[in-house]
Protein backbone atom coordinates (compact mmCIF):
# COMPACT_ATOMS: atom_id res chain seq x y z
CA UNK A 1 0.00 0.00 0.00
CA UNK A 2 2.90 2.37 0.60
CA UNK A 3 4.49 1.35 -2.73
CA UNK A 4 4.51 3.91 -5.53
CA UNK A 5 4.12 1.20 -8.15
CA UNK A 6 0.51 0.72 -7.11
CA UNK A 7 -0.16 4.39 -6.38
CA UNK A 8 1.88 6.62 -8.72
CA UNK A 9 0.64 10.01 -7.54
CA UNK A 10 1.90 11.66 -4.33
CA UNK A 11 -0.40 11.24 -1.36
CA UNK A 12 -1.77 14.37 0.26
CA UNK A 13 -3.00 13.87 3.81
CA UNK A 14 -5.90 15.99 5.07
CA UNK A 15 -5.64 17.26 8.65
CA UNK A 16 -8.45 19.58 9.73
CA UNK A 17 -8.41 22.41 7.21
CA UNK A 18 -4.78 21.76 6.28
CA UNK A 19 -2.96 19.11 4.24
CA UNK A 20 0.49 17.50 4.32
CA UNK A 21 2.21 16.48 1.09
CA UNK A 22 1.89 17.79 -2.45
CA UNK A 23 3.49 20.89 -3.78
CA UNK A 24 4.19 22.80 -0.57
CA UNK A 25 6.01 22.63 2.74
CA UNK A 26 4.58 21.78 6.14
CA UNK A 27 6.36 23.18 9.16
CA UNK A 28 5.82 21.58 12.56
CA UNK A 29 7.52 23.38 15.44
CA UNK A 30 7.55 23.39 19.20
CA UNK A 31 9.45 22.18 22.24
CA UNK A 32 10.73 18.66 22.73
CA UNK A 33 8.54 18.43 25.84
CA UNK A 34 5.63 20.36 27.21
CA UNK A 35 6.96 21.79 30.49
CA UNK A 36 4.37 24.27 31.75
CA UNK A 37 1.40 26.28 30.54
CA UNK A 38 3.44 29.45 30.17
CA UNK A 39 6.20 27.61 28.27
CA UNK A 40 3.94 25.92 25.73
CA UNK A 41 1.78 29.02 25.22
CA UNK A 42 4.82 31.21 24.72
CA UNK A 43 6.41 28.86 22.17
CA UNK A 44 3.08 28.14 20.45
CA UNK A 45 2.27 31.81 19.97
CA UNK A 46 5.73 32.57 18.67
CA UNK A 47 5.95 29.69 16.18
CA UNK A 48 2.44 30.52 15.00
CA UNK A 49 3.42 34.16 14.45
CA UNK A 50 6.46 32.97 12.47
CA UNK A 51 4.25 30.88 10.17
CA UNK A 52 4.37 27.31 11.53
CA UNK A 53 1.41 25.14 10.55
CA UNK A 54 1.48 22.68 13.46
CA UNK A 55 2.61 22.65 17.10
CA UNK A 56 4.72 19.77 18.40
CA UNK A 57 5.22 18.91 22.07
CA UNK A 58 6.04 15.72 23.92
CA UNK A 59 3.79 14.72 26.83
CA UNK A 60 5.11 11.15 27.17
CA UNK A 61 8.86 11.14 26.62
CA UNK A 62 10.94 8.08 25.63
CA UNK A 63 14.07 8.93 27.64
CA UNK A 64 17.24 6.86 27.63
CA UNK A 65 17.49 7.05 31.43
CA UNK A 66 14.51 6.27 33.67
CA UNK A 67 15.74 9.06 35.96
CA UNK A 68 15.42 11.75 33.27
CA UNK A 69 12.28 13.90 32.92
CA UNK A 70 9.57 11.62 31.54
CA UNK A 71 7.11 14.30 30.43
CA UNK A 72 3.99 15.80 32.03
CA UNK A 73 1.90 12.93 30.63
CA UNK A 74 -1.90 13.64 30.76
CA UNK A 75 -1.27 17.17 31.97
CA UNK A 76 1.02 17.71 28.96
CA UNK A 77 -1.80 16.74 26.61
CA UNK A 78 -4.16 19.13 28.41
CA UNK A 79 -1.66 21.97 28.04
CA UNK A 80 -1.25 21.19 24.34
CA UNK A 81 -5.03 21.45 23.95
CA UNK A 82 -4.97 24.86 25.65
CA UNK A 83 -2.22 25.96 23.24
CA UNK A 84 -4.25 24.68 20.28
CA UNK A 85 -7.33 26.55 21.47
CA UNK A 86 -5.33 29.76 21.85
CA UNK A 87 -3.38 29.60 18.57
CA UNK A 88 -5.49 27.44 16.28
CA UNK A 89 -2.42 25.28 15.58
CA UNK A 90 -3.18 21.54 15.31
CA UNK A 91 -1.06 19.49 17.72
CA UNK A 92 1.43 16.65 17.23
CA UNK A 93 2.48 14.45 20.15
CA UNK A 94 4.15 11.08 20.64
CA UNK A 95 2.29 8.00 21.83
CA UNK A 96 4.28 5.33 23.65
CA UNK A 97 1.64 2.81 24.62
CA UNK A 98 -1.45 1.24 23.07
CA UNK A 99 -3.18 1.81 26.41
CA UNK A 100 -3.25 5.57 25.72
CA UNK A 101 -4.61 5.29 22.19
CA UNK A 102 -8.21 6.39 22.89
CA UNK A 103 -6.94 9.50 24.65
CA UNK A 104 -4.56 10.36 21.79
CA UNK A 105 -7.26 9.82 19.16
CA UNK A 106 -9.47 12.22 21.04
CA UNK A 107 -6.88 14.83 21.97
CA UNK A 108 -4.23 15.20 19.26
CA UNK A 109 -4.37 15.98 15.55
CA UNK A 110 -1.34 13.93 14.49
CA UNK A 111 -0.12 10.94 16.49
CA UNK A 112 3.66 10.61 16.46
CA UNK A 113 5.32 7.19 16.63
CA UNK A 114 8.86 7.83 17.82
CA UNK A 115 12.05 6.32 16.46
CA UNK A 116 12.25 3.89 19.39
CA UNK A 117 8.80 2.50 18.62
CA UNK A 118 9.11 2.27 14.85
CA UNK A 119 8.97 -1.51 15.06
CA UNK A 120 6.53 -1.76 17.97
CA UNK A 121 4.20 -3.78 15.78
CA UNK A 122 1.32 -3.88 18.28
CA UNK A 123 1.40 -0.09 18.45
CA UNK A 124 1.59 0.17 14.64
CA UNK A 125 -1.40 -2.15 14.22
CA UNK A 126 -3.39 -0.29 16.86
CA UNK A 127 -2.88 3.15 15.27
CA UNK A 128 -3.64 1.49 11.95
CA UNK A 129 -7.12 0.80 13.20
CA UNK A 130 -7.82 4.51 13.65
CA UNK A 131 -8.12 7.09 10.91
CA UNK A 132 -5.79 9.59 12.60
CA UNK A 133 -2.81 10.97 10.67
CA UNK A 134 0.32 9.18 11.92
CA UNK A 135 3.80 10.71 11.91
CA UNK A 136 6.08 7.67 11.74
CA UNK A 137 9.72 8.36 12.59
CA UNK A 138 12.54 6.26 11.22
CA UNK A 139 14.12 3.99 13.83
CA UNK A 140 17.61 4.68 15.14
CA UNK A 141 19.10 1.85 13.11
CA UNK A 142 16.32 1.18 10.63
CA UNK A 143 16.78 0.81 6.91
CA UNK A 144 14.50 2.63 4.49
CA UNK A 145 12.90 -0.72 3.66
CA UNK A 146 12.17 -1.32 7.36
CA UNK A 147 10.64 2.15 7.70
CA UNK A 148 8.39 1.50 4.70
CA UNK A 149 7.40 -1.88 6.10
CA UNK A 150 6.41 -0.21 9.37
CA UNK A 151 4.25 2.21 7.38
CA UNK A 152 2.80 -0.87 5.68
CA UNK A 153 1.79 -2.28 9.09
CA UNK A 154 -0.28 0.85 9.74
CA UNK A 155 -1.77 0.92 6.25
CA UNK A 156 -2.53 -2.81 6.20
CA UNK A 157 -4.97 -2.16 9.06
CA UNK A 158 -6.78 0.45 6.97
CA UNK A 159 -5.17 3.76 7.93
CA UNK A 160 -3.57 5.35 4.85
CA UNK A 161 -2.77 8.63 6.62
CA UNK A 162 0.93 8.03 7.19
CA UNK A 163 3.62 10.73 7.11
CA UNK A 164 7.20 9.45 7.21
CA UNK A 165 9.99 11.23 9.06
CA UNK A 166 13.74 10.98 8.58
CA UNK A 167 15.38 12.01 11.88
CA UNK A 168 18.92 10.80 11.47
CA UNK A 169 20.32 7.33 11.94
CA UNK A 170 23.05 5.96 14.17
CA UNK A 171 26.41 5.64 12.46
CA UNK A 172 30.03 5.47 13.66
CA UNK A 173 30.07 9.28 13.75
CA UNK A 174 29.65 10.75 17.21
CA UNK A 175 30.10 14.47 16.53
CA UNK A 176 26.43 14.77 15.67
CA UNK A 177 23.71 13.04 17.69
CA UNK A 178 22.71 11.06 14.59
CA UNK A 179 23.67 11.20 10.93
CA UNK A 180 21.00 12.91 8.82
CA UNK A 181 20.32 10.65 5.84
CA UNK A 182 19.25 13.24 3.29
CA UNK A 183 19.28 10.66 0.51
CA UNK A 184 16.53 8.80 2.35
CA UNK A 185 14.11 11.45 1.11
CA UNK A 186 15.10 10.77 -2.49
CA UNK A 187 14.89 7.00 -1.99
CA UNK A 188 11.53 7.14 -0.21
CA UNK A 189 10.11 9.45 -2.88
CA UNK A 190 11.11 6.91 -5.52
CA UNK A 191 9.75 3.92 -3.62
CA UNK A 192 6.64 5.41 -2.03
CA UNK A 193 3.90 7.99 -2.54
CA UNK A 194 3.76 8.92 1.14
CA UNK A 195 4.81 12.40 2.31
CA UNK A 196 8.20 12.58 4.01
CA UNK A 197 9.40 15.25 6.39
CA UNK A 198 12.78 15.82 8.05
CA UNK A 199 13.62 16.39 11.71
CA UNK A 200 16.95 18.26 11.61
CA UNK A 201 16.90 18.76 15.39
CA UNK A 202 17.17 15.10 16.44
CA UNK A 203 19.44 14.40 13.48
CA UNK A 204 22.07 16.96 14.43
CA UNK A 205 21.58 17.29 18.18
CA UNK A 206 23.08 20.77 17.80
CA UNK A 207 20.93 23.88 17.42
CA UNK A 208 23.41 25.67 15.19
CA UNK A 209 23.13 23.00 12.49
CA UNK A 210 19.33 23.15 12.30
CA UNK A 211 19.03 26.08 9.91
CA UNK A 212 21.44 24.74 7.26
CA UNK A 213 20.04 21.21 7.50
CA UNK A 214 16.53 22.61 7.08
CA UNK A 215 17.59 24.30 3.86
CA UNK A 216 19.26 21.08 2.69
CA UNK A 217 16.05 19.18 3.46
CA UNK A 218 14.09 21.46 1.17
CA UNK A 219 16.72 21.03 -1.53
CA UNK A 220 16.26 17.24 -1.57
CA UNK A 221 12.49 17.55 -1.79
CA UNK A 222 11.20 16.94 1.72
CA UNK A 223 7.52 17.75 2.22
CA UNK A 224 8.21 19.53 5.46
CA UNK A 225 10.18 19.88 8.66
CA UNK A 226 9.66 19.16 12.33
CA UNK A 227 11.84 21.50 14.36
CA UNK A 228 12.42 21.79 18.10
CA UNK A 229 11.91 25.37 19.32
CA UNK A 230 12.29 26.39 22.97
CA UNK A 231 11.92 29.78 24.64
CA UNK A 232 14.84 29.03 27.00
CA UNK A 233 16.98 26.25 25.50
CA UNK A 234 19.63 26.44 28.25
CA UNK A 235 17.02 25.44 30.83
CA UNK A 236 14.94 23.00 28.74
CA UNK A 237 13.92 19.75 30.46
CA UNK A 238 14.82 17.83 27.33
CA UNK A 239 16.88 18.42 24.18
CA UNK A 240 17.88 22.02 24.91
CA UNK A 241 21.20 21.74 23.00
CA UNK A 242 19.35 21.01 19.76
CA UNK A 243 16.51 23.51 20.27
CA UNK A 244 16.47 26.83 18.46
CA UNK A 245 14.98 29.97 19.95
CA UNK A 246 11.72 31.42 18.61
CA UNK A 247 13.75 34.32 17.17
CA UNK A 248 15.99 32.00 15.16
CA UNK A 249 12.96 30.00 14.08
CA UNK A 250 11.32 33.18 12.79
CA UNK A 251 14.43 34.05 10.82
CA UNK A 252 14.57 30.54 9.31
CA UNK A 253 10.90 30.81 8.37
CA UNK A 254 11.61 34.13 6.69
CA UNK A 255 14.14 32.39 4.48
CA UNK A 256 11.99 29.31 3.81
CA UNK A 257 8.99 31.37 2.71
CA UNK A 258 11.18 32.91 0.01
CA UNK A 259 12.15 29.56 -1.50
CA UNK A 260 9.04 27.45 -0.98
CA UNK A 261 5.29 27.56 -0.61
CA UNK A 262 4.46 27.04 3.05
CA UNK A 263 1.02 26.24 4.33
32 binds Mn ion (CB under 5 A): yes
Interface residues with ligand PEP (CB under 6 A) are 32, 58, 62, 114-116, 137, 167, 199, 202
Q: At what angle do helices 121-128 and 144-156 cross, to 10 degrees?
A: 40
Nearer to ligand PEP, 13 or 32 (CB): 32
35 binds Mn ion (CB under 5 A): no
184 binds Mn ion (CB under 5 A): no
User: Residue 160 touches which of Mn ion, ligand PEP, none (CB < 5 to 8 A by kind)?
Assistant: none
Dist CA 52 CA 66 (whole Å): 32
223 binds Mn ion (CB under 5 A): no
Dist CA 162 CA 164 (whole Å): 6
CB of 228 to Mn ion, least distance (A): 6
Dist CA 173 CA 196 (whole Å): 24
Strand-pairing partners, residue 135, are 112, 163
User: Residue 221 touches which of Mn ion, ligand PEP, none (CB < 5 to 8 A by kind)?
Assistant: none
211 binds Mn ion (CB under 5 A): no
Nearer to ligand PEP, 92 or 194 (CB): 92
Q: Which stretch binds Mn ion (CB under 5 A): 29-37, 42-50, 120-128, 146-154?
A: 29-37
CB of 64 to Mn ion, least distance (A): 11
Nearer to ligand PEP, 193 or 230 (CB): 230
CB of 89 to ligand PEP, least distance (A): 16
10 Å CB burial of residue 149 (0-12, 13-18, 19+) is middle
Eight-state DSSP code of residue 21: S
239 binds Mn ion (CB under 5 A): yes
Chain centroid to Cα 62, Å, comes to 14
Chain residue at closest Cβ approach to ligand PEP: 114
Nearer to Mn ion, 84 or 167 (CB): 167
Contact 59, 91 (CB under 8 A): no
What CA–CA distances, in Å, run from 38 to 17, 42, 224?
27, 6, 27
In sequence order, which residues have a C-beta less than 8 Å from that of residue 247 and are 6 or more positions away? Answer: none
Q: Which stretch binds Mn ion (CB under 5 A): 65-73, 206-214, 237-245, 251-259?
A: 237-245
Contact 137, 169 (CB under 8 A): no
Question: Can you give the binding site for Mn ion, defined by CB under 5 A?
Answer: 32, 239
Amino acid sequence: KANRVFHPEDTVIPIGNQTIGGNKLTIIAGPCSVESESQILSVANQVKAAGAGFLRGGAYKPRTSPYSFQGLKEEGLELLKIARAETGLPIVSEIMSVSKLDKFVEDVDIIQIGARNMQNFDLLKAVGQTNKPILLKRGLCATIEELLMSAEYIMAEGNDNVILCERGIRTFETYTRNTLDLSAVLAIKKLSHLPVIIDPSHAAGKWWMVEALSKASIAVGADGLIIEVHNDPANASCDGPQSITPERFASLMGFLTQIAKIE
